[in-house]
Amino acid sequence: MKKVPFFVPFIFIVVLVLFSNYSHAQDNTKIKQTNSNQIYSDFNLSVGVYQDGFSGAFAYSRLYPVAFKKRFYVGYGVHFTSYFGKNGDYVTAPADVSEGNFFKPQNEVKLDTLFMPNAQTNSLNASIFLMYKFSKKFSVGFNIDAIGFSFGKDQESVFYSYSENISATTSNASVTNFNLLLTGDYDIGSLNSEIYAHYDVSDKIALRVGASFLFSEYTTDKKFAFDNDRFRKKSLGLMLGVAYKL
C-alpha cells in the first residue's frame, strides 16, 4: 500500500456569501446581544443517504461569532464518519492523472474504474465549521473535513481500464489512510462535508436537514494505468441530523 508523506497542508476555506442587510429587513427576528456574543458548542449526530450507500457521523464543534453583527460564526471540531457502500464504481483519484481540479473537468480519457462490491470506510478528521444565525432559533451551517486519518477492512475489487487495453483484473484494496483537504481532485483520502438548515426545538436540542457530500477512497495493492493506485468515489445525498448544545 502506498504511503503518503506527511506535510503541513494549506487549507482553502470557501466562505458562503450572506446578505449583510438581511437583519434590517427582519427586525422582528433580531437576536439578543447577549445570545449573539456567546460561543456555540455542540455534539451532533447525522445520517447521510446516497444512491448506493449510507453513512453515520458524529461530531463535536466549537464556534465563535466573528462578523455580521455577531451572527456569522467560525469554528473547529472533530468529525467521525463511517460510510457503507454496495456495488460502487471508484474512479481514478489523483489530480495529476485525471487532470481535473476545482475549476477544470476531468479528462475522461484517463479515467479508469475500480469496482467495489462492498466498501466500508471510517474516518476521523479535524474539521472546519461555519454557521450563520438568521434568528434565535433558525440558522444555516456548513462543515468540511480538513485533515485526519481513515481505516477499514481490506476489500476485493476489480479494475476496469478504459484508458488502456488492459483486461479486467482483481486486486486487493485498502482504505487510504491519510486524509487531506486540498480542494477538488487534489484531495486525498476520505472526507465528509455537510450543508444544512438548523432549527432549535428547545434550549438544548436542534434538528438539521441538508446535504452530505462525501469522498471515500481506496488504494490498491498494485499500480495500474498511468502508474496509479488511488481510486475515489464521490457521493452526494440527503443528510438528517440532531444536535445537543453544550
User: 80: buried, middle or exposed (CB in 10 Å: 19+, 13-18, 0-12)?
Assistant: middle
> Can you list the domains of the chain with their CATH numbers?
34-245 (2.40.160)
Q: Please state, in angstroms and rounded to a whole number, the distance separating the CA atoms of residues 125 and 12.
A: 16
**Dihedral of CA 30/14/45/197: which sign?**
positive
- Helix-strand-coil percent breakdown of the chain, rounded to 5? 10, 55, 35
Cell of 56: 453515520
Q: Are 217 and 190 in contact (CB under 8 A)?
A: yes
Residue 175 is classified by DSSP as E
Number of other residues whose CB lies within 10 A of the CB of residue 163: 17
Q: Which helix (H) or strand (E) holds 149?
A: strand 138-151
- The one-digit pLDDT tens for each residue of the chain (246 residues) are 344 333 333 333 333 333 333 433 443 444 444 444 589 999 999 999 999 999 999 999 999 999 999 999 999 999 999 999 999 999 999 999 988 777 778 888 889 999 999 999 999 999 999 999 999 999 999 999 999 999 999 999 999 988 777 778 999 999 999 999 998 889 999 999 999 999 999 999 999 999 999 999 999 999 998 999 999 999 999 999 999 999
Task: Give the model's pLDDT for residue 180.
Answer: 98
Angle at 56 between CA 218 and CA 88, to 5 degrees: 35
* Three-state secondary structure readout of 22-33: HHHHCHHHCCCH
**Nearest to 199, CA basis, from 143, 243, 148, 232:** 243
> What does the block give as the cell for 161?
481500464
Print burial letters for 119-154: b (CB count within 10 Å at least 16), e (below 16).
bbbebbbebbbbbbbbeeeebbbbbbbbbbebebee
Query: How much is the pLDDT for 109?
Result: 84
The pLDDT score that the predictor gives to residue 246 is 92
DSSP 185: G
Among left, alpha and beta (phi > 0; psi -120 to 50; other), residue 194 is beta
